[in-house]
Chains A and B, each alone.
Chain A
Amino acid sequence: MGKNEMEAVLMSGNEACVEGALLAGINFFAGYPITPSTEIAEGLARRLPRVGGKFIQMEDEIASMAAVAGAALAGAKAMTATSGPGFSLKQENIGFAAATEIPCVVVNVQRFGPSTGLPTSPSQADIMQARWGTHGDHPAIALMPASVQESLSLTITAFNLAEEFRTPVILLMDEIIGHMREGIVIPQKGEYVIKNRTKPTVPPEDYLPYAAGPNEVPPMANFGDGYRFHVTGLIHDETGFPRGRGSDGDYLVRRLINKVMSRLEEILMVEEIGMEDAELAVVACGPVARSAKKAIAMARELGIKAGLVRPITIWPFPEDAIKVAAKKVDAIIVPELNLGQMALEVERNACGDAPVYRLNRVDAELITPDEILAKIQEVK
């Protein structure tokens, strides 16, 4: 490795997402222009054809999610990127991909809502939409980067989880991380892991496209590989065909959820700082965790033993990390850029073992370390 390659390069979170996607092996992107995610589409429009991949700007958000699912079914590693209103529009086809187990990555650079809102301002108000945005019971995996470096690394992770679990994975960025510039190091080959979907090993005539192995994830053939199988958003049995039976629904919905929930150790990522001796915990994610990190350092200077729990995987929610923290500390503070979405999960998992205090801003500004510190002092 040359010296130059080790040097940090300055880029935004959106640009880092592009780099991460390319390292992960993306070869298809479909999108629609929307602030503040557009730089991801622009970057991939430039870069993908240079590596033999395909970029397409579709007629709308719905179509771009559909094209991503179609491309992934034809074997591509496919991604789309959007923001707020666009994320809402994509939900039906995210549900289709979840139900039909099509691996793909959906980046949502969260912006201030509801509706058109403040398009260039940050928010964390899509946390619940990332979990429950599409109708019906379904699995959800969503990751929240807190830095530009992490925007790159979590994009790779998102592709890997999508391939491994055959499900759409949401990279839940936000305007701050998306547009913030930081020096990052682009990892070299061998410094990151790439995972690919499991292919069927049986001949086409024996292939049951939705027969799950012990890990609940069925091997996936590509369209055009001779397997000639059927994919439908209707409840289907292991052959892939609908039979209109409630029992098939029971089996499928439970399996879809279980394939994710039974392997949490492979999905859950949590950063903890100072939790060994913490008497008070701040639970924060994304850019708010940066303020929280500073705030707990300031608190410790004042003699308050504060700690940070940062869910990197926001869905499935890292329940155990909160349960353990709640048993340990006297109070939990949940600062977030919404009126309390992650707080609902924290409150649920604290099980009353520690009181949970909310700290919310919905005025298009980031919560500052001082504000978190003031809350720490107030509840301590």
Chain B
Amino acid sequence: MATKELLKEYTRMDKLPHIWCPGCGHGIILGSVIRAIDRQKLDPNKTSVISGIGCSGRAPGYVKFDTLHTTHGRALAFATGVKLARPELNVIVLTGDGDCAAIGGNHLIHAARRNIDVTTVVFNNYIYGMTSGQYSPLTPHMKLATTAPYGNIDQSFDLCKLVTAAGATYVARGTVYHTQMLIGLIAEGIAHKGFSFIEVITHCPTYYGRRNKMGDAVDMLNWQKEHAIPVKAAAKLPPEKLKGKFVIGELHRSEGPEYTEEYQRIIDSLKRE
């Protein structure tokens, strides 16, 4: 589908333009989610898109599905309720690095552990953008933020490793620079039965890039291009060559019992009693 048709089909045109800053990568992620949904031919009437609070939290408001903008960090907990109550629905969670790795971290690891069939897309711009630039659990060491004026001494999470360890059965990382790959990764996540997790490296030129002297949006996109190593190439590189870089592509895939199916199995077994 051409962009114009996609917009007409899947977006609430009257809500556009979006509220994100000029140069922000979030629109590219939302566009990729829409294209992935279109590619998987999800029934729009059976698709719920759920978010928490922050810049990413506004994404569902622009798309023509059942959309739920919840409290800070709790999107996955709300999504668990929607999915378990009505397992036939496609449930997609759009969240941010602060939303899902800090205040929502507990819900993230437990949703992964249950392997509930929810697709989670993290808009990782390394910063709290909505509140104008505080450090998040994904802000790299010694980067600047309004609440880290002398450099961030926290160590950052590798969210993909975290959710893999917690039990997610599809884990991928993409960037807004590599859009075709990103659409594919999200589409795979949607198709996958179980907890799917896609971390998307995006950029916040307003509150992260400017403070950390990373240039404008184009410079920050180029930074993604220069620092992303495709998973196949990374496998052949020694660890010292991966330092300061990040791996993109499908990072983990496994099979495991899906939560709502397990629950249905219990219901069915009790019926036979």
Select one of B69, B81, B270 contacting A66, CB under 8 A. B81
Produce 1/0 per residue, B74-88, CB < 8 A to A: 100111111111101
Q: A230, B69: Cβ atoms under 8 Å?
A: yes
Produce 1/0 per residue, A71-85, CB < 8 A to B: 111111010000000
Minimum CB–CB distance for A339 against chain B, Å? 32
Contacts of B83 in A (CB 8 A): 70
> Nearest CB to that of B107 among chain A residues?
A63
Q: How many angstroms between the C-alpha atoms of A58 and B113 in the bound complex? A: 12
Q: Does A49 contact B (CB under 8 A)?
A: yes
Select one of B44, B81, B86 contacting A67, CB under 8 A. B81
Q: How many angstroms between the C-alpha atoms of A234 and B15 in the bound complex? A: 15
Q: A70, B82: Cβ atoms under 8 Å?
A: yes
Q: B267, A52: Cβ atoms under 8 Å?
A: yes
Q: Which range holds the interface residue count of chain A?
A: 35 or more
Q: How many angstroms between the C-alpha atoms of A50 and B12 in the bound complex? A: 41
Q: Which of B45, B67, B78, B84 has the most chain A CB atoms inside 10 A of its CB?
A: B78
Q: How many angstroms between the C-alpha atoms of A234 and B53 in the bound complex? A: 10
Known contacts A50-B270, A230-B69: does B106 contact A78 (CB below 8 Å)?
A: no
Q: A70, B69: Cβ atoms under 8 Å?
A: no
Q: How many angstroms between the C-alpha atoms of A252 and B31 in the bound complex? A: 32
List residues of A (209-264) whose CB comes within 8 Å of B's CBs. Answer: 222-234, 241-242
> Nearest CB to that of A46 among chain B residues?
B270
Known contacts A96-B71, A232-B69: does B89 contact A223 (CB below 8 Å)?
A: yes
Q: A233, B86: Cβ atoms under 8 Å?
A: no
Q: How many angstroms between the C-alpha atoms of A83 and B178 in the bound complex? A: 49
Q: Which of A54, A228, A230 has the most chain B CB atoms inside 10 A of its CB?
A: A230
Contacts of A73 in B (CB 8 A): 68, 78, 81-82
Q: A224, B267: Cβ atoms under 8 Å?
A: no
Contacts of A58 in B (CB 8 A): 77, 80, 110
List residues of B (47-84) whose CB comes within 8 Å of A's CBs. Answer: 48, 50, 60-61, 64-71, 74, 77-84
Q: B69, A231: Cβ atoms under 8 Å?
A: yes
Q: How many angstroms between the C-alpha atoms of A69 and B77 in the bound complex? A: 9
Contacts of A231 in B (CB 8 A): 67-69
Q: How many angstroms between the C-alpha atoms of A224 and B81 in the bound complex? A: 13
Q: Does A185 contact B (CB under 8 A)?
A: no
Contacts of B85 in A (CB 8 A): 27-28, 54, 70-72, 74-76, 78
Q: Which residues of B contact A (CB under 8 A)?
A: 12, 15, 44-46, 48, 50, 60-61, 64-71, 74, 77-86, 88-89, 106-107, 109-110, 263, 266-267, 270
A-B contacts, 18 of them at CB < 8 A, read: A30-B81, A54-B263, A66-B80, A66-B107, A67-B77, A67-B78, A67-B81, A70-B77, A71-B82, A71-B84, A73-B82, A74-B48, A93-B74, A224-B89, A226-B45, A227-B66, A230-B60, A231-B68
